[in-house]
Amino acid sequence: MTSTSGTNQDPADQPSSTTSTVVGPLNFTKDGSAPASRLCDEDDRVRCMFCDEVYNLRIEEGRNQYLAHLFVAHRLVIADVGEVACLGSYSNFWAERFRGAEGALERYCSAMLLNQLPDGTPARDEKYFMLSDIEPMDYELRLRLKREMMELVLARHQFERTDREFGRGCLYCRDLVAATRSEFIEHLYTKHFLLLGKAENLVFVDELVDVVQEKMDRLICLYCEKVFKDRPTLKEHMRKKGHKRINPENKAYDRFFLVNYRNDKLKKGSVNPPVRQPVPVRAREPESSPFHSEDSDSDWSDWYGEEQPTTCLFCEVTRTQIDDLKAHMKTEHNFDFDAQVVGLNFYQRVKIVNYIRRQMHDLRCVTCREEFPSKDQLHAHLKQEGHFGTGEQQHWDQPGFFFPTYEDDQFLCHLEDDSPDLSDDSSVVISEPRPTANVSADAESLSLEKFRLE
Residues 394-429 pLDDT 10s = 888 888 888 888 877 889 888 876 655 444 444 444
Residue 9 has pLDDT above 80, yes or no: no
Which pLDDT does position 28 carry in this prediction? Answer: 56
On whether the CB atoms of residues 31 and 136 are closer than 8 A, the answer is: no
Number of domains in the chain: 3
Which pLDDT does position 306 carry in this prediction? Answer: 57
* pLDDT category of residue 208 using cuts at 50, 70 and 90: very high
* pLDDT category of residue 440 using cuts at 50, 70 and 90: low
Which pLDDT does position 61 carry in this prediction? Answer: 87
* pLDDT category of residue 335 using cuts at 50, 70 and 90: very high
Clarify whether residues 241 and 174 are in a common domain: yes
Give the chain's radius of gyration (CA, Å): 29
Among candidate residues 120, 147, 174, the one where a domain is terminated: 147
Residue 8 has pLDDT above 90, yes or no: no
Tens digits of residue pLDDT in 132-165: 999 999 999 999 998 888 888 888 888 888 888 8
Burial track 153-177 (b if 16+ CB lie within 10 A, e otherwise): bbbbbbbbbeeeebebebbeeeebe
Q: Which of 160-174, 235-249, 259-273, 275-289 has the lowest mean pLDDT?
A: 275-289
Clarify whether residues 236 and 315 are in a common domain: no
Instruction: Tell me, yes or no, whether 132 lies in a domain.
Output: yes
Which pLDDT does position 33 carry in this prediction? Answer: 63
Instruction: Tell me, yes or no, whether 208 lies in a domain.
Output: yes
Catalogue the E-assigned strands of 29-162: 46-47, 54-55, 76-78, 110-116, 122-131
Higher pLDDT, 373 or 444: 373
From residue 362, how far is each of 36, 86, 128, 257 by CA, in Å?
24, 37, 60, 31
Instruction: Tell me, yes or no, whether 4 lies in a domain.
Output: no
- Across the range 329-354, mean pLDDT stands at 90
Question: Around Cβ 431, how many Cβ atoms within 10 Å?
Answer: 6
Higher pLDDT, 302 or 127: 127
Question: Around Cβ 438, how many Cβ atoms within 10 Å?
Answer: 11
Clarify whether residues 124 and 174 are in a common domain: no
Clarify whether residues 322 and 398 are in a common domain: yes
Helix (H, G, I), strand (E, B) or coil at 169: strand
Among candidate residues 261, 282, 299, the one where a domain is terminated: 261
* DSSP H or E segment with residue 311: strand 310-311
Among candidate residues 117, 147, 177, the one where a domain is terminated: 147
Clarify whether residues 143 and 90 are in a common domain: yes
- Across the range 256-261, mean pLDDT stands at 86
Instruction: Tell me, yes or no, whether 236 lies in a domain.
Output: yes
- Across the range 34-59, mean pLDDT stands at 80
Instruction: Tell me, yes or no, whether 11 lies in a domain.
Output: no
Residue 272 has pLDDT above 70, yes or no: no
**Signed CA dihedral, 187, 189, 192, 195: sign only:** positive
Q: Which of 172-176, 214-218, 312-316 has the lowest mean pLDDT?
A: 172-176
Clarify whether residues 227 and 132 are in a common domain: no
Instruction: Tell me, yes or no, whether 6 lies in a domain.
Output: no
Tens digits of residue pLDDT in 213-232: 999 999 999 999 999 999 88
- Across the range 177-202, mean pLDDT stands at 89
Torsion (CA) 49, 54, 56, 61 in degrees, nearest 10: -90
Cα–Cα distance, 49 to 96 (Å, whole number): 8
Instruction: Tell me, yes or no, whether 293 lies in a domain.
Output: no
Pairing status of strand 122-131 against strand 76-78: parallel
* pLDDT category of residue 292 using cuts at 50, 70 and 90: very low
- Across the range 247-264, mean pLDDT stands at 82
Instruction: Tell me, yes or no, whether 106 lies in a domain.
Output: yes
Catalogue the E-assigned strands of 35-167: 46-47, 54-55, 76-78, 110-116, 122-131
Clarify whether residues 51 and 104 are in a common domain: yes
Clarify whether residues 193 and 236 are in a common domain: yes
* pLDDT category of residue 448 using cuts at 50, 70 and 90: low
Which pLDDT does position 78 carry in this prediction? Answer: 93
Which pLDDT does position 307 carry in this prediction? Answer: 65
Cα–Cα distance, 242 to 220 (Å, whole number): 14
Clarify whether residues 327 and 252 are in a common domain: no
Clarify whether residues 139 and 65 are in a common domain: yes
Residue 282 has pLDDT above 50, yes or no: no
Q: Mind giving me the DSSP string for 201-246? A: GB--HHHHHHHHHHHHHTTB-TTT--B-SSHHHHHHHHHHHT--B-
The parent domain of residue 335 ranges over 310-413
Q: Which of 55-69, 81-95, 171-185, 289-303 has the lowest mean pLDDT?
A: 289-303
Clarify whether residues 122 and 196 are in a common domain: no
Higher pLDDT, 263 or 63: 63
Clarify whether residues 138 and 170 are in a common domain: no
Mean pLDDT over the full length of the chain: 78
